[in-house]
């Protein structure tokens, strides 16, 4: 595989975040010992996705999700 290309099944994602969200990303990075923000965001999204797939929304989260469960 040529250098600089992602393995099949992987995609690069990024976006703009608030200062508060950035601080949480940096804290998550430090907790996990991750080397860069790209890997940190990938790990955070993966963790979020796993909890969403198998989790149940709390009543307060139902409101945030527009009432869709």
pLDDT digits (tens, 9 = 90+) for 33-58: 999 998 999 999 999 998 888 765 56
Q: Look at residue 64 and tell me if it is in a domain.
A: no
- Can you tell me the mean pLDDT for 8-13? 82
Q: Look at residue 15 and tell me if it is in a domain.
A: no
Pairwise pLDDT comparison (21 vs 68), residue with the higher score: 21
Q: Look at residue 46 and tell me if it is in a domain.
A: yes
Count of domains for the chain: 1
- Tokens for 12, please give them: 């690069």
The whole-angstrom separation of Cα 40 and Cα 33 is 9
**Which residues, including other chains, have CB under 8 Å from residue 17's CB and lie 6 or more apart?**
25
Task: Tell me which DSSP letter residue 46 carries.
Answer: H
What domain range includes position 43?
A: 20-26+35-52
Q: Look at residue 6 and tell me if it is in a domain.
A: no
Please report which confidence band the pLDDT of residue 3 belongs to, taking 50, 70 and 90 as the band edges. Answer: confident
User: First-to-last CA distance in the chain?
Assistant: 41
């Amino acid at each position: 595989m040529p250098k600089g290309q992602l393995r099949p099944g992987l995609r690069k994602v990024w976006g703009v975040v608030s200062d508060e969200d950035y601080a949480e990303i940096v804290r998550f990075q430090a907790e996990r010992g991750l080397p860069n923000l790209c890997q940190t965001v990938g790990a955070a999204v993966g963790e979020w996705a796993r909890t969403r797939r198998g989790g149940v929304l709390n009543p307060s989260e139902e409101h945030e999700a527009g009432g869709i469960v």
